Amino acid sequence: MIVVRNVFRLKFGKAKEVKTLFKEAQKIDIGHGTVGMRMLTDLTGPSYTYVVETTHKSLSEFENDLQTMFASKEWAEVYQKMIPLMDSGYREIFTVVD
Q: What is the mean pLDDT of residues 47-68?
A: 90
pLDDT score for 10:
96
Torsions phi, psi of 40, nearest 5? -125, 145
pTM recorded for the entire structure: 0.85
pLDDT in tens, 43-54: 998 899 999 998
Burial class (CB in 10 A: 0-12, 13-18, 19+), 29: buried
Q: HEC profile for 7-49? A: EEEECCCCHHHHHHHHHHHHHHHHHCCCCCCEEEECCCCCCCE
Q: Is the pLDDT of residue 72 over 70?
A: yes
State residue 77's pLDDT score.
92
List domains and CATH numbers for the chain: 2-95 (3.30.70.100)
